[in-house]
Structure 1
Amino acid sequence: MSQDKTGNSGAIVKSSNELAKTTPAGEYLTSALMDFDPNHFEGFAAIADGANKLLMLVLAAVIKAGAAREHEILAEIRDAVFSFIRKMEPRKVMDTMLVSRVRILYIRSLLARSPELQSIKVSPIERFLEKSNSTSRSRGSSRGSSPGRSPGYHHDHVSRVALIDENVQGFKVNIKQEKKSKFSSIVLKLRGIEEETWRQHVTGGKLREITEEAKAFAIGNKALAALFVHTPAGELQRQIRAWLAENFDFLSVTGGDVAGGTTGQLELLSTAIMDGWMAGLGTAQPPSTDALGQLLSEYSKRVYTSQLQHLKDIAGTLATEEADDPVHVSKLRSALESVDHKRRKIMQQMRTDTALLTKEEGGSPIRNPPTAAEDARLASLISLDNILKQVKEVIKQSSTRPLRKSKKKALLESLDDLLAQMPSLLDIDHPCAQKQITDARNVVESLQEDPDDPAPDPNSNSNTLGESEVSQWNVLQFNNGTTAPFIIKCGANSSCELVIKADQRVQEPKGGEVIRVVPRPSVLAEMGFEEMKGVFEQLPEAVSLLALARSADGTRARYSRLYRTLASKVPALKEIVAEMERGGVFKDVRS
Structure 2
Amino acid sequence: MANIQSRDLGRNDNTKGHSMDVSSSPLSADNTDGTVALFKPGSEKVKTTPAGEYLTAALNDFDPEQYDGVAAISDGANKLLMLVLAAVIKAGASREHEILAEIRDAVFSFIRKMEPRRVMDTMLVSRVRILYIRSLLARSPELQSIKVPSVECFLEKANTGRSRSSSRGSSPGRSPVRYGDEHIHGFKVNIKPEKKSKLSSVVLRMRGIDQDSWRQQVTGGKLREIQEEAKAFAIGNKALATLFVHTPAGGLQRQIRSWLAENFDFLSITGDDTSAGSSGQLELLSTAIMDGWMAGLGAAMPPTTDALGLLLSEYAKRVYTSQLQHLKDIAGTLATEEAGDATQAAKLRSALESVDHKRRKILQQMKNDGALLTLEDGVLPIQTPTTAAEDARLASLISLDGILKQVKDILRQSSVNALSRSKKKVMLTSLDELRERMPSLLEIDHPCAHKQIADVRKVIESIPEEDDHLHDPTHAQKTSADLGSSTETDVAQWNVLQFNTGSTSPFIVKCGANSSSELVIKADAFLQDPKSGEIVRVVPRPSVLENMSLDEMKQVFFQLPEALTLLALARTADGTRARYSRLYRTLAMKVPSLRDLVGELEKGGVLKDVKS
- Whether the TM-score (by the shorter chain) exceeds 0.5 is yes
Q: Does 1:416 align with 2:416?
A: no
In the alignment, residue 264 of structure 1 is paired with which amino acid? Answer: G
CA distance in 2, matches of 1:376, 1:234: 54
> Are the aligned partners of 1:252 and 1:262 in contact in 2 as well (CA < 8 Å)?
no
Cα separation, partners in 2 of 1:69 and 1:170, compared to 1, 3 Å: same
Give the structure 2 partner of residue 265 of structure 1. 281
Taking a change above 3 Å as real, the CA distance of residues 372 and 452 of structure 1, as seen in their structure-2 partners, is: closer
Residue 243 of structure 2 corresponds to residue 227 of structure 1: yes
Q: Structure 1 residue 74: deviation in Å?
A: 1.0
Change in 2 beyond 3 A, CA 1:172/1:213: same
Quick one: structure 1 residues 330 and 185, their matched pair in 2 at CA, closer, same or farther if it must change by over 3 Å? Answer: same
Question: Does the 8 Å CA contact 2:35/2:138 hold for their aligned counterparts?
Answer: no
Identical-residue share of aligned pairs (%): 71
Over 3 Å counting, the alpha-carbon distance change for 1:456 and 1:46 in structure 2 is: farther
C-alpha distance in structure 2 between counterparts of 1:456 and 1:281, whole Å = 94
Residue 466 of structure 1 deviates from its aligned partner by 6.5
Equivalent positions of 1:137-156 (< 5 A) are 137=174
Aligned to 1:212: 228
Alignment partner of 1:37 out of 60, 63, 67:
63
Q: State the match for 2:134 in structure 1.
A: 108
* Distance change >3 Å, CA 364–CA 443, structure 1 → 2: closer
Deviation at 1:473, TM superposition (A): 2.2
User: Gaps (5+ residues) in structure 2?
Assistant: 1-33, 161-171, 490-524, 526-531, 533-612
Asked whether 1:453 is paired with 2:469, we answer yes
1:73 partner SS: helix
1:74 corresponds to which of 85, 97, 100? 100
Structure 1 residues 55 and 44: alpha-carbon distance in aligned structure 2, compared to 1, 3 A threshold: same
- Pairwise CA distance, 1:365: 2.8
In 2 relative to 1, CA 225–165 (structure 1 residues): closer, same or farther, beyond 3 Å? farther
Contact kept in structure 1, 2:156 and 2:186, CA below 8 Å: yes
Q: 1:300 aligns with which of 291, 316, 331?
A: 316
- The question of whether the paired residues in 2 share the 8 Å contact of 1:9 and 1:114 is answered with no
Runs of 4+ in 1 over 6 A off after TM superposition: 259-263, 465-470
Quick check: 1:402–1:450 contact (8 Å CA) kept in 2? yes
Q: Which amino acid aligns with 1:55?
A: L
CA distance in 2, matches of 1:301, 1:378: 27
1:123 alignment partner in structure 2: 149
- 1:179-328 aligned at under 5 Å gives the runs 179-253=195-269, 258=272, 264-328=280-344
Matched, 1:383 2:399: yes
Q: 1:382 to 1:468 in 2, by over 3 A?
A: farther
- 2:42 is the alignment partner of 1:28: no
Q: Does structure 2 conserve the Cα–Cα contact (< 8 Å) formed by 1:52 and 1:98?
A: yes
* Offset of residue 356 of structure 1: 2.8
Q: 1: CA distance between counterparts of 2:83 and 2:376?
A: 31
Alpha-carbon offset, residue 39 of structure 1: 1.3
Distance 1:299 1:447 in 2: 66
How has the CA–CA distance of structure 1 residues 470 and 367 changed in structure 2, closer, same or farther, with 3 Å as cutoff? farther
Q: Is 2:365 the counterpart of 1:349?
A: yes
Amino acid of the structure 2 residue aligned with 1:239: Q
SS in 2 for 1:347: helix
Give the counterpart letter for 1:50 in structure 2: G
**Counterpart Cα distance in 2 of 1:423 and 1:129:** 68
Query: How many angstroms does 1:391 deviate by?
Result: 0.4
Q: Shift in Å at residue 306 of structure 1?
A: 0.9
TM alignment of 1:340-489, pairs within 5 A: 340-353=356-369, 356-358=372-374, 360=376, 365-400=381-416, 403-454=419-470, 472-473=486-487
Structure 1 residues 435 and 9, CA gap change in structure 2 (3 angstroms)? farther
Cα contact 1:301–1:356 (8 A) shared by 2: no
| Residues 25-61 of structure 1 deviation map (CA, whole Å, 9 limit, x = unaligned) | 1111111111111112121111111111111111111
- Whether contact under 8 Å (2:213, 2:273) holds in the other structure is no
Q: Distance in 2 between matches of 1:45 and 1:9?
A: 34
Q: 2:190 — aligned with what?
A: 174
Query: Structure 1 residues 400 and 25 mapped into 2: Cα distance closer, same or farther (>3 Å)?
Result: farther
Q: Which residue of 2 aligns with 1:586?
A: none
Residue 12 (structure 1) aligned with residue 38 (structure 2): yes
Q: Say whether 1:97 aligns with 2:111.
A: no
Structure 1, 35-44 or 83-92: larger mean CA deviation? 35-44
Conserved? CA contact 2:216–2:268, under 8 Å: no
Residue 186 of structure 1, CA deviation: 2.4
- SS of 1:19 mapped into structure 2: coil
Residue 474 (structure 1) shift? 6.0
Distance 1:452 1:302, change over 3 A: closer
CA–CA distance in structure 2, aligned partners of residues 246 and 194 of structure 1 = 24
For the residues of structure 2 that align with 1:99 and 1:456, how far apart are their CA atoms?
Answer: 90
* Alignment check: 8 A CA contact 1:79 1:354 kept: no
Measured in 1, the distance between the counterparts of 2:481 and 2:445 equals: 38
Q: Matches of residues 542-581 of structure 1 in structure 2 within 5 Å?
A: none
Contact (CA 8 Å) 1:55, 1:98: kept in 2 or not?
yes
Q: How far is 1:360 from its partner?
A: 4.6
Return the offset for 1:82: 0.5
| Residues in 2 aligned to 1:436 and 1:430: alpha-carbon distance in whole angstroms | 10
* In structure 1, C-alpha distance between the alignment counterparts of 2:80 and 2:354, rounded to whole Å: 41
What residue identity is the alignment partner of 2:112? R
1:575 maps to what in 2? none
Tell me if the contact between 1:297 and 1:357 (Cα under 8 Å) persists in the aligned partners: yes
Change (3 A) 1:263 1:117: same
- Is 1:54 matched with 2:80? yes
Q: Secondary structure at the match of 2:351?
A: helix
Give the Cα separation in 2 of the matches to 1:259 and 1:185. 17
Q: Deviations over 1:214-244 (max 9, x none)?
A: 1110001000001011111111111111111
Query: C-alpha displacement at 1:364, in angstroms?
Result: 9.3
Q: Tell me which residue corresponds to 1:506.
A: none
Aligned-pair distance for 1:469?
6.6
Q: How does 1:518-533 map to 2 (within 5 A)?
A: none
CA deviation after TM superposition for structure 1 residue 399, in Å: 2.3
- CA–CA distance in 2 between the matches of 1:210 and 1:245? 16
Distance 1:398 1:106, change over 3 A: same
Deviations 1:155-174 (A, max 9, x none): xx9xxxx7x54410101111
Alignment-mate amino acid for residue 104 of structure 2: R
Question: Any idea what SS the aligned residue of 1:178 has?
Answer: coil
Q: Is the 8 A contact 2:159 2:173 kept in 1?
A: no
Instruction: Indicate if the aligned counterparts of 1:287 and 1:360 stay in contact, CA closer than 8 A.
Output: no
Q: Contact 2:59 / 2:80 at 8 angstroms: preserved in 1?
A: yes
**Number of equivalenced pairs:** 448
Cα 1:10–1:467, aligned 2, differ >3 Å: closer, same or farther? farther
Output the CA distance in 1 between the equivalents of 2:390 and 2:481.
46
Taking structure 2 as the reference length, what is the TM-score of the superposition?
0.67
Residues 117 and 429 of structure 1, relative CA distance in 2, 3 Å threshold: same
Task: State the TM-score, normalized to the length of structure 1.
Answer: 0.69
Tell me, what secondary structure is at the counterpart of 2:280? helix
Structure 2 residue identity aligned to 1:372: A
Contact 2:36 2:96 in 1 (8 A): no
